[in-house]
Amino acid sequence: MDKAQTYEMLLAVKEGKMSPEEAMLKLKLKPYCDLGYAKIDNHRGIRQGIHEVIFGEGKTSEQIIGIIERMIENGRKNILITRLKSEIAIEIQKSIALEYKPVPNIGIVGKTEEVTAKGYIVVATGGTSDLPVAEEASVTAEVLGSRVERLYDVGVAGIHRLLDKMEIIMGARAIVAVAGMEGALASVIGGLADCPVIAVPTSVGYGASFGGVAALLCMLNSCSSGVSVVNIDNGFGAGYLANMINHI
C-alpha cells in the first residue's frame, strides 16, 4: 500500500463506502511479508511515498524472483532492482517480464512511463567513465516519476561544455553531479546553480584517487553552499534523493 492508496481508502471511509474497522484491518494487515530470506516492507510506500527497492548484489535469482512475485501480488509497479548482474537478470527473465539496463545494472518490473513531478532533474558527469554511476541515478529518478536531463562529459577540464548548458542547469529542481578524479564538478555546479546539488564521487581515477576517496573528500570539503554528498558510486542514493526533492 502506498500514500495514494491510503488516501483513497480514507476517502472511502469518509464517504461511507468502507467502515473504519475495515480500513483499520487493511492498515494492520501484513505490514511486512516474511519470506525467510527476506522481509518485504509492505508499508514503506505509506511512510515514504516510494515502495521498497531490491538491492540485487549478493542475491540469487531465486531469491529475487521470490521477492518480485510477492511484491506483484501486493500490487507493486515500477519494481526496481539495483546492482543486478546480467547473468542473474537472464535467469529472472525466464520467469518474469524484466526490463534490464546493462550499463547501470538495473532491472525494472512493471514499469510505467508516468511522470509525477512538475520539474526536472539534471544528472551531470565529469567524464564518460562516470556514465554507469550517472545512469544508475538517472534511471532511478525516471522510474520513480521524474524527468531527467542528462549532461554527460561536461567536466572542469573543458568547463565551457558545462557553461554552454546554463539554461538547463538553472531550470532544474535538483542536480546530481557525478565525478571521479578530484571531483571538482560538484563544487563548480554548486557555485552556479540555485537548487540543491547532490554530489556523487566515483571510483574513476588514477592511483592517488584511492578508489574515489579523493573525490569524496573534495566534495565533502566543497566551498559551494547547497552541496550534499552521497557515498562513492552511489548513483541510486543520489537519484532517489533528487527525485524526492523534485516531488516536494
For 152, the grid coordinates are 554527460
Looking at residue 30, what is its pLDDT? 67
Using CA atoms, how far apart are residues 111 and 120, in angstroms rounded to an integer?
A: 19
Domain residue ranges of the chain, discontinuous segments joined by +? 1-30, 31-109, 120-246
- What region does 58 belong to: left with phi over 0, alpha with psi -120 to 50, or beta? left
CA–CA distance, 135 with 235 (Å, rounded to integer): 7
CA 239/CA 245 separation, integer angstroms: 10
Q: What is the pLDDT of residues 157-175, one digit of tens each?
A: 899 999 999 999 999 999 9
Q: Which pLDDT tens digits describe the chain residue by residue (248 residues)? A: 556 677 787 888 888 888 888 877 776 666 777 778 887 777 777 777 778 889 999 999 999 999 998 888 877 888 899 999 999 999 999 999 999 999 999 999 988 878 888 999 999 999 999 999 999 999 999 999 999 999 999 989 899 999 999 999 999 999 999 999 999 999 999 999 999 999 999 999 898 899 999 999 999 999 998 999 999 999 999 999 999 999 99
| Spatial separation of the C-alpha atoms in residues 203 and 126, rounded to whole Å | 12
pLDDT in tens, 204-247: 989 889 999 999 999 999 999 899 999 999 999 999 999 999 99
Strands 39-41 and 32-34, by their bridges, are antiparallel
- Which one of 3.40.50.1970, 2.10.10.100, 3.40.1400.10, 3.40.50.460 gives the CATH number of domain 120-246? 3.40.50.1970
Q: Tell me the three state secondary structure of residue 48.
A: helix
